[in-house]
Amino acid sequence: MDLAFWGITLQTIGGIMIAYTALMVHRRVWKDHKVDEAVFKTMGGEQRIGILGILFLVTGYILHLLAR
C-alpha cells in the first residue's frame, strides 16, 4: 500500500471523526433541551447535513479506491 492510499484513508477517517463529533454535540444539546425551539429546528437541519456529509466522504473514498 502506497502513501496516497494512507493519505486518503487518514483524511477520510479524520473527516468522519470531525463530523461525528459535531453531530454528537448537537444531539446532546438537542436531547437536553437547553435551547429554544428555533435552535432545535436549525440543529435538526444541521444534523441531516452532517449525516449527508459523512455519506459523501465514505462514498468518495470508495469511488476513489475503485478508480485506482
Domain spans of the chain, in order of start: 3-67
2/4 Cα distance (integer angstroms): 6
Q: What is the pLDDT of residues 44-56, one digit of tens each?
A: 888 888 899 999 8
Q: What is the pLDDT of residues 8-39, one digit of tens each?
A: 888 999 899 999 988 888 887 888 777 778 77
Q: How many CA atoms lie within 13 A of 37 on its CB side?
A: 0
62/65 Cα distance (integer angstroms): 5
